[in-house]
């Protein structure tokens, strides 16, 4: 089984990389990009029976820094 | 005085920090990240700058979960001193020994420079060798030094006089110009600038000497 974890900077936390990407899109001529937020996707290949609660614990302990980042878990 | 300097794969300021402690009169033990205990009798733990574990995942995140950081937490909880510089500051926030987090610099770029720091409090073993509001010059070299904490945490840091240093001209976007903060018991300091790179005439700057000297004096009388 697999899980996919999305980690994003929390709303309100400045994302300088996202801002740089927004500027780059603008300079390539893409108009109307009002904002870019950049995050990461972490794919976990898990032993059968691993629970979403266990993945959440992984997020809390390591995968996300909850001071500045939020996360979501997709089990599949 | 006995100082331990932690060494992670990718640390690159560990020997500089060891020399800084040695020159101030401490005995120094280098401690590998896989060790689960500190040598007996350690007074202060130095968490050095560099790129622990290649900065993978987030700066300091993997190091914070290494065996030696368990021992570091125990040391701090028992009232031991700790000094985290640059990547060491990131490790201290990732272990939650200090509040907040370090984000990518607001200007995206890695910055290598010498900056003016204002001493925000002289009330700590690290800063008692300076006068409050004095301006000192200290080198910085970081990509992720943009300090963040929520308003509640910032109010607490300010209310408890725990901001150690602020930037005279903010180079990286840190909230409230914060360059370094203290723990509640004032025995843990995390800072992005490198005082260990400002110790000798050949460094071109000796403004870091007063920190290590004051630290040794305080621990000697403690």
Q: pLDDT by residue (tens digit) across B76-99?
A: 999 999 999 999 999 999 999 999
Burial letters B94-118, b for 16+ CB under 10 A, else e: bbebbbbbbbbbbeeeeeeebbebb
| HEC per residue, A26-51 | HHCCCCCCCCCCCCEEEEEECCCCCC
Could you confirm whether B203 is annotated as catalytic?
no
Task: From A64, A73, A69, select the one nearest A14 (Cα to Cα).
Answer: A69
Q: What is the pLDDT of residue B222?
A: 66
Does B103 sit within 8 Å of A14, measured CB to CB? yes
Quick one: which of B123, B219, B135 has its CA closest to B163?
Answer: B123
- Domain coordinates of chain B in residue numbers? 2-221
- What number is the ipTM of this complex? 0.85
Contacts of B108 in chain A (CB under 8 A): 16-17, 20
Low-confidence stretches of chain A (pLDDT beneath 70): none
Cβ contacts of A68 on chain B, cutoff 8 Å: 101, 103, 148
What pTM did the predictor assign? 0.94
Q: Which CATH class is domain A2-75?
A: alpha beta
The torsion angle over the Cα atoms of residues A47, A4, B60 and B165, rounded to 10 degrees, is -150
**CA distance linking residue B91 with residue B47, whole number of Å:** 8
- Using a CB–CB cutoff of 8 Å, tell me whether A13 touches chain B: yes
B59 classed as catalytic? no
Out of A17, A20, A65, the one facing B58 most closely (by C-beta) is: A65
List beta partners, residue B16. Answer: none
Answer whether CATH 3.40.50.880 is correct for domain B2-221.
Answer: yes
- Identify from A16, A61, A64 which residue to disrupt to test chain B contact, counting B C-beta atoms within 10 A and taking the largest count: A16
């Amino acid at each position: 089984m697999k899980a996919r974890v999305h980690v994003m900077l929390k709303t309100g936390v400045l994302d300088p990389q996202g801002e740089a990407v927004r500027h780059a899109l603008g300079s390539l001529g893409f108009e109307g990009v009002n904002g870019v937020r950049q995050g990461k996707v972490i794919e976990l290949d898990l032993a059968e029976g691993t629970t979403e609660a266990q993945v959440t614990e992984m997020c809390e302990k390591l995968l996300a820094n909850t001071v500045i980042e939020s996360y979501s878990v997709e089990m599949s | 005085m006995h100082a331990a300097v932690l060494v992670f794969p990718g640390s690159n300021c560990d020997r500089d920090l060891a020399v800084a402690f040695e020159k101030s009169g401490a005995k120094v033990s280098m401690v590998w990240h896989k060790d689960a205990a500190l040598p007996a009798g350690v007074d202060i733990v130095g968490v050095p700058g560099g790129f622990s574990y290649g900065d993978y995942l987030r700066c300091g995140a993997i190091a914070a979960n290494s065996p030696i950081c368990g021992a570091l937490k125990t040391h701090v909880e028992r009232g031991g001193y700790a000094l985290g510089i640059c990547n060491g500051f990131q490790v201290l926030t990732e272990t939650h020994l200090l509040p907040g987090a370090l984000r990518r610099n607001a200007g995206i770029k890695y910055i290598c420079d010498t900056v003016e720091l204002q001493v925000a409090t002289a009330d700590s073993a690290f800063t008692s060798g300076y006068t409050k509001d004095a301006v000192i010059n200290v080198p910085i070299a970081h990509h992720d030094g943009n300090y963040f904490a929520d308003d509640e945490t910032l109010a607490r840091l300010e209310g408890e006089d725990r901001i150690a240093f602020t930037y005279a001209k903010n180079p990286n976007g840190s909230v409230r110009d914060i360059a370094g903060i203290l723990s509640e018991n004032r025995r843990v300091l995390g800072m992005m600038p490198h005082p260990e790179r400002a110790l000798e005439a050949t460094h071109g700057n000796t403004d870091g000497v007063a920190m290590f000297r004051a630290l040794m004096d305080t621990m000697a009388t403690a």
